[in-house]
């Protein structure tokens, strides 16, 4: 029975039968080797998008200085990319039906390339950078979901394990090398030149997609080949308003600001209207199939966990490079090396989940195992982070964090999409990835808000405690002044130099405490997700059917 057959059983079951027959006929003429070539062709551009999305966090400190942005403002480089990504996702299934899979992918590569050119040209222009990131996000939103859907269509059952292994081999090469390479480009030249690294591979991916992906590979429901304009418009309005309110609320004193009040009201009203519109039985082509989630307890719990894990993924990957750059004072290339450790953990978690956890224990147990690892990793960061924590201590914690994320995402995808029929896989996968990316967006926003609030709190408390009349503080300032005088710096006023150095230490300590607070909240979120897994009776699958890739 189709996920969607509850909408209008007679008509949609007929569409499902016709669509399933169309898919089978299209796949019948493709040899196993041709199918793998198609998957790897799409995998090249997917690897670029994922690697760039992960590695961009390494560049944020240098971006912030060049475009004269605050920590709040520079976070929009990620947030606006995610919003463009989300908008692309909700239109992805419709665009595939109307213009075909190959054309959709090629247009997406073109948009992504235009956005990358804009980013490469925006070394000192914040506005151009932000606009370009939206365009990049709208283009990049198609790659990951198309790759997962194609793997589901062309490699049923256990055959997908070998296909995904080949695909992840491509992804793994890019994810390991990209952060370090981008960091080296940043140090050697400038951060905006890092976006030029994408183009040789985008050109290669374009040629492979044009040559090997058949234009009509995916199905088309002719009676549903129209876009849900009202649903898409309400969703975009709700997300944009909520994003503005959440990112500016702390700085503008929340309900004391008329702008925040208006945006919150608009966000709530648009979201309620969107839910009502999308769940109407008369709406045969919703942008998100919320009825899928509403009808099954397992799916509701799974999608809730995915939202939380998306937030942990986004916030954690946003905070980690900032800690390494601002507190530990690592270079961009060295920070990229730590991010490569992170992606190595993702790869190890993927192999562990595919080969051991999912086949033997099912989706629920796999998610629970990953969540426990994630809680341990977040807790470890709280206790090991200092201004001088050695790399030998940081690396195992970073590896453990990403090792825990992989089973959670893979197990949740197995539960969410594992029993979807071929015609429904397009819509179910789109809904799944939308929920995950939405959590990612709110995670970055929440991390920014928490950082601003806790930074102000910690710096105020430290400055209050560090009163200049305190004997310990006076002794420290005297030592700083003597050191500056011996080194020949600030000869005219070593006391002023000592005070500035002391204030810099206060700022560094405040940053560190703020980052630790964020990871405390992430550990709490992970515990909440674990409780959801314990309470909900999720379906246990004995065989891996669909896979989630990063």
Q: Answer whether residue 219 shows pLDDT above 50.
A: no
What is the model's pLDDT at position 392?
94
What is the model's pLDDT at position 541?
41
Mean pLDDT confidence for 383-394: 93
- φ, ψ dihedrals at 471, nearest 5°: -60, -40
Q: Answer whether residue 93 shows pLDDT above 80.
A: no
Highest averaged pLDDT of the listed ranges 6-20, 271-285, 345-359, 496-510: 345-359
Q: Answer whether residue 312 shows pLDDT above 50.
A: yes
Which of 379, 383, 431, 377 minimizes the C-alpha distance to 408?
Answer: 377
Residue 491, number of CB atoms within 10 A of its CB = 10
- Say which residues have a Cβ less than 8 Å from residue 486's Cβ, sequence separation at least 6: none
Q: How far apart are CA 365 and CA 148, in angstroms?
A: 22
CA 331 to mean position of chain CA atoms: 23
Mean pLDDT confidence for 70-77: 82
Read off the pLDDT band of 290 (50, 70, 90): confident
Mean pLDDT confidence for 7-16: 46
Structural fold of domain 19-225: Growth Hormone; Chain: A; (1.20.1250)
Give helix then strand counts, H and E, for the chain: 18, 0
Specify burial of residue 136 (Cβ count, 10 A radius: 0-12, 13-18, 19+).
buried
Please, what's the largest Cα pairwise distance for the chain?
87
Identify whether the C-beta of residue 438 lies closer than 8 Å to the C-beta of residue 307: yes
Structure tokens at 262: 């208006």
What is the model's pLDDT at position 540?
42
Q: Answer whether residue 547 shows pLDDT above 50.
A: no
What is the model's pLDDT at position 386?
92
Highest averaged pLDDT of the listed ranges 257-266, 337-346, 351-360, 491-500: 337-346
Identify whether the C-beta of residue 502 lies closer than 8 Å to the C-beta of residue 480: yes
- Say which residues have a Cβ less than 8 Å from residue 192's Cβ, sequence separation at least 6: 66, 119, 120, 121, 122, 123
Task: DSSP letter for 543, please.
Answer: S
Mean pLDDT confidence for 259-266: 86
Highest averaged pLDDT of the listed ranges 38-47, 64-73, 92-101, 496-505: 38-47
Helical packing angle, 422-465 and 391-417, nearest 10°: 150
Read off the pLDDT band of 216 (50, 70, 90): low
- Say which residues have a Cβ less than 8 Å from residue 290's Cβ, sequence separation at least 6: 275, 278, 279, 431
What is the model's pLDDT at position 395?
95
Judged by average pLDDT, the poorest of 14-18, 99-103, 331-335, 379-383 is 14-18
Which of 228, 156, 170 minimizes the C-alpha distance to 204?
Answer: 170
Q: Answer whether residue 25 shows pLDDT above 70.
A: no
What is the pTM for the complete model shown? 0.85
What is the model's pLDDT at position 391?
94
Structure tokens at 307: 């939202």
What is the model's pLDDT at position 11?
47
- Under DSSP, is residue 481 helix (H, G, I), strand (E, B) or coil? helix
Q: Which residue has the higher pLDDT, 547 or 96?
A: 96
What is the model's pLDDT at position 1?
39
Q: How far apart are CA 321 and CA 286, in angstroms?
A: 38
- What DSSP letter does each residue of 34-96 carry, written as one string? HHHHHHHHHHHHHHHHHHHHHHHHHHHHHHHHHTT--HHHHTHHHHHHHHHHHHHHHHHHHHH
Q: Answer whether residue 511 shows pLDDT above 70.
A: yes
Residue 133, number of CB atoms within 10 A of its CB = 26
Dump pLDDT digits (tens) for 410-436.
887 776 666 555 556 677 778 888 888
Judged by average pLDDT, the poorest of 103-112, 251-260, 352-361, 486-495 is 486-495
Helical packing angle, 358-384 and 391-417, nearest 10°: 140
- Quote the mean pLDDT of the chain: 80
Would you list the domain boundaries of the chain? 19-225, 288-550
Dump pLDDT digits (tens) for 160-181.
777 777 887 888 889 899 999 9
Task: Give me the torsion for CA of 457, 461, 463, 465, rounded to 10°.
Answer: 180
What is the model's pLDDT at position 3?
42
Q: Answer whether residue 5 shows pLDDT above 50.
A: no
Mean pLDDT confidence for 267-290: 82
Q: Answer whether residue 549 shows pLDDT above 60.
A: no
What is the model's pLDDT at position 157?
67
Read off the pLDDT band of 519 (50, 70, 90): very high
Dump pLDDT digits (tens) for 232-249.
888 888 888 877 777 676
Highest averaged pLDDT of the listed ranges 45-59, 79-93, 211-225, 460-474: 45-59
Read off the pLDDT band of 469 (50, 70, 90): low
Mean pLDDT confidence for 22-50: 81
Q: How far apart are CA 57 and CA 178, in angstroms?
A: 12
Identify whether the C-beta of residue 407 lies closer than 8 Å to the C-beta of residue 353: yes
> CATH homologous superfamily of domain 288-550?
MFS general substrate transporter like domains (1.20.1250.20)
Dump pLDDT digits (tens) for 99-149.
778 888 999 999 999 999 999 998 788 889 999 999 999 999 989 888 888
What is the model's pLDDT at position 20?
52
């Amino acid at each position: 029975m189709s996920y969607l057959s509850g909408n209008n059983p007679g008509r949609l079951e007929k569409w499902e039968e016709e669509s399933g027959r169309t898919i089978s006929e299209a796949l019948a003429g493709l040899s196993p080797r041709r199918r793998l070539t198609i998957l790897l062709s799409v995998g090249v551009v997917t690897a670029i998008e994922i690697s760039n999305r992960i590695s961009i966090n390494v560049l944020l400190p240098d971006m912030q200085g060049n475009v004269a942005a605050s920590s709040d403002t520079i976070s929009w480089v990620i947030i606006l990319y995610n919003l463009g990504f989300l908008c692309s996702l909700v239109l992805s299934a419709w665009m595939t039906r109307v213009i075909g899979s190959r054309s959709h992918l090629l247009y997406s590569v073109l948009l992504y390339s235009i956005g990358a050119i804009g980013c490469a040209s925006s070394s000192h222009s914040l506005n151009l950078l932000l606009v370009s990131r939206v365009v990049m996000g709208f283009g990049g939103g198609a790659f990951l979901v198309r790759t997962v859907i194609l793997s589901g269509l062309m490699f049923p059952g256990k055959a997908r394990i070998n296909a995904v292994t080949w695909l992840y081999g491509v992804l793994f090469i890019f994810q390991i090398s990209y952060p370090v390479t981008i960091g080296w480009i940043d140090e050697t030249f400038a951060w905006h030149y890092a976006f030029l690294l994408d183009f040789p591979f985008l050109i290669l991916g374009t040629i492979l997609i044009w040559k090997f992906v058949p234009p009509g590979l995916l199905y088309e429901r002719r009676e549903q080949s129209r876009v849900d304009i009202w649903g898409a418009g309400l969703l975009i309005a709700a997300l944009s308003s909520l994003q503005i309110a959440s990112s500016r609320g702390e700085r503008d004193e929340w309900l004391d600001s008329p702008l925040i009040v208006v945006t919150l009201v608009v966000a709530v009203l648009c979201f309620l209207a969107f839910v009502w519109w999308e769940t109407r039985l008369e709406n045969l082509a919703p942008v998100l199939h919320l009825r899928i989630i509403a009808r099954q307890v397992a799916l509701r719990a799974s999608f809730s966990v995915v939202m939380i894990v998306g937030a942990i993924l986004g916030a954690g990957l946003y905070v980690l490079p900032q800690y390494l750059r601002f507190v530990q004072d690592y270079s961009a290339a060295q920070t990229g090396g730590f991010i490569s450790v992170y992606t190595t953990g993702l790869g190890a978690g993927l192999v562990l989940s595919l080969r051991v956890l999912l086949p033997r224990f099912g989706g629920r147990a796999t998610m629970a195992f990953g969540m426990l690892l994630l809680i341990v990793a977040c807790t470890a960061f709280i206790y090991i982070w200092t201004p001088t924590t050695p790399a030998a201590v940081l690396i195992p914690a970073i590896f453990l964090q990403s090792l825990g994320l992989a089973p959670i995402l893979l197990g949740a995808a197995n539960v969410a999409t594992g029993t979807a029929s071929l015609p429904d896989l397009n819509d179910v996968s789109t809904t799944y990835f939308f929920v995950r990316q939405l959590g990612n967006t709110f995670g970055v926003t929440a991390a920014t808000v928490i950082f601003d609030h806790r930074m102000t709190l910690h710096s105020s408390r430290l400055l209050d405690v560090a009163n200049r009349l305190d004997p310990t503080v006076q002794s420290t300032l005297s030592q700083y002044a003597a050191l500056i005088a011996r080194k020949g710096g600030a000869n005219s006023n070593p006391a002023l130099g000592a005070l500035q150095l002391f204030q810099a230490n206060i700022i560094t300590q405040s940053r560190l405490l703020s980052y630790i607070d964020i990871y405390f909240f992430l550990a709490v979120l992970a515990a909440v997700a674990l409780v959801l897994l314990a309470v909900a009776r999720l379906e246990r699958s004995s065989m891996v059917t669909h896979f989630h890739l990063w």
